[in-house]
């Protein structure tokens, strides 16, 4: 009986250890309300989130949303940032983090965005406002960087596919 029990436990341990330790999590992240000069609003700024983990270590994190210039948060964009956004067929606001460029780097992400027809553009003014939002620190985003991505043209695929070595492909909607 003992041998049978040890065999079952050993089999369970071996099968668990052969599972991949690379995981991808998905979810949403919401910043509540905002302020610009004398204006204050309670609208949420909602991001979709994808996170790549090796065991329990976060290797790469991306928060993204299609830029909406009708949102009250659009006040955070400078005039030149708005011009860049208006020149796009589709503009994305991306907030990203990478732990180590030797594993998953931002340049790997940027290269895949480029292959999908997106070009990076600066969002310095918006980024400064975003980083001073009270929820930014609370949500542990202080090491994240803010980027804009622009896709021009008329034939736009609805799915943006991101694939890193050792991980399943992820679709950003």
Split at pLDDT 50, 70, 90, the class of 158 is: low
> Is residue 168's pLDDT more than 80?
yes
pTM of the model: 0.84
At 124-151, the pLDDT tens digits run: 999 999 999 999 999 999 999 999 999 9
The whole-angstrom separation of Cα 163 and Cα 145 is 20
Model confidence at 155: pLDDT above 70:
no
The C-alpha torsion from 45 through 53 and 124 to 88, rounded to 10°, is -70
Q: Where are the domains of the chain?
A: 21-172
How high is the mean pLDDT of the chain? 89
C-alpha distance from residue 6 to each of 2, 45, 157 (Å):
6, 53, 53
Q: Tell whether the model's pLDDT for residue 34 goes beyond 90.
A: yes
Q: Nearest to residue 47, comparing CAs of 64, 72, 34?
A: 64
The share of the chain scoring above pLDDT 70, in percent, equals 86
Q: What is the mean pLDDT of residues 46-51?
A: 98
Query: For 77-113, how does the pLDDT look when each residue is reduced to its tens digit (9 = 90+)?
Result: 999 999 999 999 999 999 999 998 889 999 999 999 9
Q: What is the pLDDT of residue 7?
A: 54
Return the minimum-mean-pLDDT range out of 2-16, 30-44, 61-75, 101-115.
Answer: 2-16
pLDDT at 17: 47
The total number of residues written for the chain in this structure: 173
């Amino acid at each position: 009986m003992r041998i049978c029990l040890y065999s079952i436990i050993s089999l369970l341990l071996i099968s668990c250890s052969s599972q991949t330790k690379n995981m991808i999590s998905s979810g949403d992240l919401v910043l509540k309300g905002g302020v610009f000069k004398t204006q204050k609003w309670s609208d949420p700024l909602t991001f979709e989130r994808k996170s790549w983990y090796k065991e329990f270590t976060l290797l790469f994190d991306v928060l993204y949303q299609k830029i909406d210039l009708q949102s009250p948060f659009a006040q955070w964009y400078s005039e030149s940032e708005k011009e860049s956004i208006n020149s796009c067929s589709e503009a994305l606001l991306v907030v990203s983090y990478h732990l180590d460029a030797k594993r998953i780097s931002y340049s790997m992400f940027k290269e895949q965005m480029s292959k999908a027809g997106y070009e990076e553009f600066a969002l310095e003014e918006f980024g400064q406002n975003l980083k001073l939002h009270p929820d930014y620190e609370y949500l542990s985003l202080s090491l994240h960087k803010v980027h804009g991505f622009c896709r021009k043209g008329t034939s736009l695929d609805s799915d943006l596919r991101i694939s890193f070595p050792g991980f399943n492909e992820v679709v950003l909607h």
